[in-house]
Structure 1
């Protein structure tokens, strides 16, 4: 006999209170609060429920140091149902990452680093011979259900003397594979005005709120024209908080000038999870509540928006007939210290705390 589980009196981010009934991991009913029927009742009265959080930028290959961590440590244990590894592996190791993903509770996808060595080194685009077109094409074909895009880290410490050439090569690989590019931006050279024009619709700028000298805002905080043009042509903006890539001051400028909030991601790995300034997805989301974004907009940035970019709408909704990918969380009204990548400490009056997660119908408490 099929087991029915009732998630009792949870509330959507619009404050609507519902029961969610699951059968063998599939949502079979969204019922009036208190009316759902099932053998097992999980009483989360007053707790928020959303579709399972999606983190579009993580580093989930623990062998690589410093940018690595265990999948479930930065996935389900954070209340995150789905993670997307942002280029930890190139063609040399993408198969190992895919295998680890199959063994994890967390849903896992990946951007393929255009450098075959991936983050085995942190200057992976300094030698153009590491960008092997044939190996990229082979990996994309072999892992087409796993790889969602290509990754190119275009900043001084990564490219060294290669300049803009790795991005030009990434653009060619994108056209051949029909996959979008996620571009990491950071210190110059190359200059940001040289980088952004390469990006097209559905490509991703990650770290767009960084506070480095080569960022996307002028000294008055106004968005550069290259950023405005990129948004107009459909380039996707991704936070990618990380150790060095999120500034409260830049984020405040982005909000002031109505730069859209597409996806919030963590760029989490062992070091910035344990020692900050990232700590967790909930901590990063709490920073956007502090900035004044409504809860619905913040949660959309890790659910519907991310699922839409992935072209997996079922991951960004709560709908009868779908396998249950859900995140349960509270918004706690109490002071909290929040720190950005510049060491700027702010005190918020509320923060998000994860309570549990369903992934493909399996429930895990956080």
Structure 2
């Protein structure tokens, strides 16, 4: 039996109104508003439609505290159809995370923590014996459909006295698996000027707009030479907002110097979802609208840019023949208070709100 419905009067980012016909979970037709035909209709008048939002940095393993949450709570319920868990699990528990994802509506990929214990402790790189290269390689091979990279959290509270040595070991695992690295940057040691030269094209720096002393800009606000060199090498720069890693002032400095984010991600988990300052993907995206980026730039960061990094372009487009993977959202004109990780508040005039997702043959309202 054919299951067919029409998404009516949805707006593309350029304002063009379209109908999208979904048939048995596949996009069957993209046509002018009012022209689509189907057994059922969903009125998307006043809503924008994009390919499904992708969050490149979340924590979706609920057993680990404080950095954990339920997959669908930070996925489809937020308008996000694909999440990438950023190193919650190492080789010891990655199988459990993958098993959890099979029971969820949200599509999940993962960065494998180079520490086999993952975020069971928050100093997971303080003991180099926990970086078991053989176990990491075995896990990467076993779960290759889910694992998209390796995660190393390079800040003082995580590495303890090991400085940059865990990153050298991560580089060795990367060479053995051909997986790129996602590197969390934060307080020194290790110094940011020792971290960035070790990164290669397609590696990811997350938290790149953090306001800590060990950040990517000098005292005058200019980007550090190692930062500029990394951009030229093709290192990918990701927002990773989080509880402590996004500063309005640093983001404004980056914009003034023409430095653009590659992807916008939340670093969301239960605590900063419920209590802020993250709350949701839509809340984080609204901050970049406030900063003066266009709606197209903001949404591309969580659709085409993220899909291209994942090397899964089908997740970043709306195309006949593709599996249905859509996010519906509005941009509402009213004052809204937005808060960064430093506690600084700004009043914006526009707010992005997620309204729903289409996954295969289902519409799920947010």
User: Quick check: 1:141 aligned with 2:141?
Assistant: yes
Check the 8 A contact 1:3/1:24 in 2, yes or no.
yes
CA distance in 2, matches of 1:233, 1:23: 43
CA distance in 2, matches of 1:264, 1:59: 15
1:333 deviates by 0.2
> Counterpart of 1:268 in 2: which secondary structure?
coil
**Partner of residue 65, structure 2:** 65
**Partner of residue 268, structure 2:** 268
CA distance in 1, matches of 2:231, 2:359: 32
CA distance in 1, matches of 2:86, 2:29: 35
CA distance in 1, matches of 2:211, 2:75: 27
CA distance in 2, matches of 1:147, 1:101: 12
Check the 8 A contact 1:336/1:349 in 2, yes or no.
yes
CA distance in 2, matches of 1:20, 1:251: 36
Check the 8 A contact 1:325/1:361 in 2, yes or no.
no
CA distance in 2, matches of 1:147, 1:314: 18
> Counterpart of 2:102 in 1: which secondary structure?
helix
1:45 deviates by 1.1
**Partner of residue 224, structure 1:** 224
**Partner of residue 87, structure 1:** 87
1:1-366 superposed matches below 5 A:
1-366=1-366
TM-score (norm 1): 0.99
CA distance in 2, matches of 1:220, 1:13: 37
CA distance in 1, matches of 2:296, 2:167: 35
Check the 8 A contact 2:3/2:361 in 1, yes or no.
no
TM-score (norm 2): 0.99
Check the 8 A contact 1:107/1:359 in 2, yes or no.
no
1:363 deviates by 1.5
1:4 deviates by 1.4
1:262 deviates by 0.5
1:273 deviates by 0.3
The range that moved more, 336-345 or 212-221, is 212-221
Q: Give the 4+ runs in structure 1 shifted more than 6 A.
A: none
1:359 deviates by 2.1
1:361 deviates by 3.4
CA distance in 1, matches of 2:359, 2:242: 25
CA distance in 1, matches of 2:54, 2:226: 28
1:225 deviates by 0.9
CA deviations over 1:235-294 (Å, ceiling 9, x no partner): 000000000000000000111111122100000000000000000000000000000000
CA distance in 2, matches of 1:164, 1:3: 54
Check the 8 A contact 1:101/1:108 in 2, yes or no.
yes
Structure 1 regions of 5+ residues with no counterpart? none
CA distance in 2, matches of 1:303, 1:322: 15
Structure 2 regions of 5+ residues with no counterpart? none
> Counterpart of 2:72 in 1: which secondary structure?
helix
1:219 deviates by 1.7
CA distance in 2, matches of 1:46, 1:243: 32
Count residues with an aligned counterpart: 366
1:67 deviates by 0.3
CA distance in 1, matches of 2:4, 2:276: 40
1:192 deviates by 0.4
> Counterpart of 1:226 in 2: which secondary structure?
helix
CA distance in 2, matches of 1:361, 1:221: 49
